[in-house]
Structures are given as structure tokens and as C-alpha cells.
């Protein structure tokens, strides 16, 4: 199972897909999940692996999707007495399964590396690439005369640091890439001249207004090293504005859920194995026992749920 976990994690990491890793770190019997059990939750809410039965899985998926949104790991406890004795740092959920038991599960988001695309080979471009690699960014350096397809994502930032070497051509390429951050290393005077050219090429002011000129925060930078620092600081600042850590909102999908009327467990509708028809609608259950209890006296449970 561990090999399967590593293989799935490697596949998602190689394709720059965000995912969350869930690991059982503690249990109190009886539980089907045991310490060391692991699962991967992808951004669409699909769980691969094992961290326990039907009661724990919807909770883990829910918390995993939250971790992909805010980039923050979390420790959760699924227990019959979750609300009776709260523990600082642990989010408690009530174990609704009849088997009882307690599971402590650590959930960690694994997010793609931030991607810095640099146009140019100027001293600023070279220094910026070195600093970005120190910060564990994925760096792509593009010479002005090159033309290649860049796979942009919400984690992509673009800096045009050509500094006189085909600025116009580099900006044409950069503007064709949809990225949340685009900066041009130049003076305002230089930018106005290049902007006129880009307008003639058909770029609208709405798009041109997204270019940050001069690039970087105003810290009085003058040397290539200082300018590179100011640019990276601005990249970090822009990302921090929306979400912490340096991650924009990810396109995760919240799975549709329904409440099991027997035990009160929230069930993922798309993956629920047990359901019954009642009053011209579907009722979903976390396990066969709940479905059997419901089918014997559906009115009892539906009246209690309303």
C-alpha cells in the first residue's frame, strides 16, 4: 500500500497537481484505520489509499480540500467523544459509526512549486533566477528571440528583464501568457514607448494595465541584486494578499454531501455505496447497517431529521 501511495504522490507531483496527504498517527480501538495508514486526496475530492472506513473518509476529504485552499496542515480527531474533551491544535469530529473508536489523522497539503518565468539574460535576469532557485521556485529562463509554450498556472509569475534586448518581442510573448503577475524591468519612460508599440499590435489597455512597471517594490534599489530582491518581494506580497502561504486560490471542487438520517454522518453523494428511495428522493447512508435500520422504519428517521 505504501508503494501505491508513493506512486500516486509522484504522479500528481510530476504533473504539478495539488493534493493532500492524510496519515493516521494514532488510534484507539476499535478502528479499521491504524497508525501509518495513508491516503491521497486530489483537488476533485477523490481519495486514494486507506485511513479508515466510511465514517472517517468524508471528514478527511472535507478537511483535505480546506487545506488545499489555505495551504495549512491540520490534525483532526474522529472520536465518539470529540466534543467532550477538546484538545488545543486538534479539530474534533464526532465518530458516528457504531464501531466507535478514535482516529487522529494528520493532513498535509502538497502544493506545486511557484513558477517564475524570466524573459532575458540581463544581470537582473541572472540574479533573479539565482535568488528564485534559493527559494525553491521552479525557474524558466527564456531568451528574447525564443518562442516556446509556457504552461501557466495560478502559481506562475512572469518577469521581463530583457533591458533593451528585444523588449517589445519579449513583452508580446509574456502578454500572451495568462499569469497573475507580470512585471517589466524598465523605467516609466521606456514603458510608455513600448506600450505605444504594443497598442499598435492590438493589445488593449485593460491588459497592458496589468503590467507592473517599474518591476518590484519601491525600496530604492539600484544594483541588479537589489532590483532582483525587490521583484521577489513584490511577487511574495501579491501572493500573500489573497491566501497564506504564498498560494492563490486553487480550483478545488467541494463534493456534494448528504446527511445520513440514521447516524447523522455527512456522506459524499458521488461515492456513497448505500442509498434508498423515500418520498421520491434518494437518501444516502454511510454503511449497510444504517441503510438496513432506515429501511425497517424510514418514517421514524425522516421525522427525527426534520
Domain spans, the chain: 2-111, 115-242, 256-306
Q: How many residues comprise the chain? A: 306
DSSP state at residue 114? P
Fold annotation for 115-242: Rossmann fold (3.40.50)
CA atoms of 116 and 157, how far apart (whole Å): 5
Look at residue 306 in the predicted model and tell me its pLDDT: 57
pLDDT for residue 147: 55
- At 230 the three-state DSSP class reads helix
On whether the CB atoms of residues 214 and 226 are closer than 8 A, the answer is no
Cα–Cα distance, 50 to 276 (Å, whole number): 26
**How far is 227 from 163, CA to CA, in rounded Å?**
13
Provide long-range contacts, Cβ within 8 A and 24+ apart, for 72-75.
Answer: 72/109, 72/244, 72/245, 73/106, 73/107, 73/108, 73/109, 74/106, 74/107, 75/25, 75/104, 75/105, 75/106, 75/107
Give me the sign of the Cα torsion angle 151, 153, 156, 162. Answer: positive
Q: What pLDDT score does 247 carry?
A: 42
DSSP character at residue 63: H
> What is the structure's pLDDT at 85?
66
Would you give per-residue pLDDT tens digits along the chain (306 residues)? 678 888 888 888 888 789 999 999 999 888 888 999 999 999 988 999 999 877 788 889 989 999 998 889 999 998 887 665 677 889 888 776 666 788 999 999 998 888 999 999 999 999 999 999 999 899 999 875 665 667 777 789 999 999 999 999 999 999 988 899 999 999 999 999 999 999 999 999 999 999 999 999 999 999 999 999 999 999 999 887 755 444 444 454 555 778 888 877 778 788 788 899 998 889 998 888 888 889 999 888 887 665
Give the pLDDT confidence score for residue 146 in this predicted structure: 63
Separation CA 151–CA 204 (nearest Å)? 23
Specify the pLDDT at position 250: 46
DSSP character for 195?
H
Euclidean distance between CA atoms 137 and 144, whole angstroms: 21
pLDDT tens digits, 252-303: 455 577 888 887 777 878 878 889 999 888 999 888 888 888 999 988 888 7
- 218-252 pLDDT, tens digit per residue, is 999 999 999 999 999 999 998 877 554 444 444 54
Amino acid at each position: 500500500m505504501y508503494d501505491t501511495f508513493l506512486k500516486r504522490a509522484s504522479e500528481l507531483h510530476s504533473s504539478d497537481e495539488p493534493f493532500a496527504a492524510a496519515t493516521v498517527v494514532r488510534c484507539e480501538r476499535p478502528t479499521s484505520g491504524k497508525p501509518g495508514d495513508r491516503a491521497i486526496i486530489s483537488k476533485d475530492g477523490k481519495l486514494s489509499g486507506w485511513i479508515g472506513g466510511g465514517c472517517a473518509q468524508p471528514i478527511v476529504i472535507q478537511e483535505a480540500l480546506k487545506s488545499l485552499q489555505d495551504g495549512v496542515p491540520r490534525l483532526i480527531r474522529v472520536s465518539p467523544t470529540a466534543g467532550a474533551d477538546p484538545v488545543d491544535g486538534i479539530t474534533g469530529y464526532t465518530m458516528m459509526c457504531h464501531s466507535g473508536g478514535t482516529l487522529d489523522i494528520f493532513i498535509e497539503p502538497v502544493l506545486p512549486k511557484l513558477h517564475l518565468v524570466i524573459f532575458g539574460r540581463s544581470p537582473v535576469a541572472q540574479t533573479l533566477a539565482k535568488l528564485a532557485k534559493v527559494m525553491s521556485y521552479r525557474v524558466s529562463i527564456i531568451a528574447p528571440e525564443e518562442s516556446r509554450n509556457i504552461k501557466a498556472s495560478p502559481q506562475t509569475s512572469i518577469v521581463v528583464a530583457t533591458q533593451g534586448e528585444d523588449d517589445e518581442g519579449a513583452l508580446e510573448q509574456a502578454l500572451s501568457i495568462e499569469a497573475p503577475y507580470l512585471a517589466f524591468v524598465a523605467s516609466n519612460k521606456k514603458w510608455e514607448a513600448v506600450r505605444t508599440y504594443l497598442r499598435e499590435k492590438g493589445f488593449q489597455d485593460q491588459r497592458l494595465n496589468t503590467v507592473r512597471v517599474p518591476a518590484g517594490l519601491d525600496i530604492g534599489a539600484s544594483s541588479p541584486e537589489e532590483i532582483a530582491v525587490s521583484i521577489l518581494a513584490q511577487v511574495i506580497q501579491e501572493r500573500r494578499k489573497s491566501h497564506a502561504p504564498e498560494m492563490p486560490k486553487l480550483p478545488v471542487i467541494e463534493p456534494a454531501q448528504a446527511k445520513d438520517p440514521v447516524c447523522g454522518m455527512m456522506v459524499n453523494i458521488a461515492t456513497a455505496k448505500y442509498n434508498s428511495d423515500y418520498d421520491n428522493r434518494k437518501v444516502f447512508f454511510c454503511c449497510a447497517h444504517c441503510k438496513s435500520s432506515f429501511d425497517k422504519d424510514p418514517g421514524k428517521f425522516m421525522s427525527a431529521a426534520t
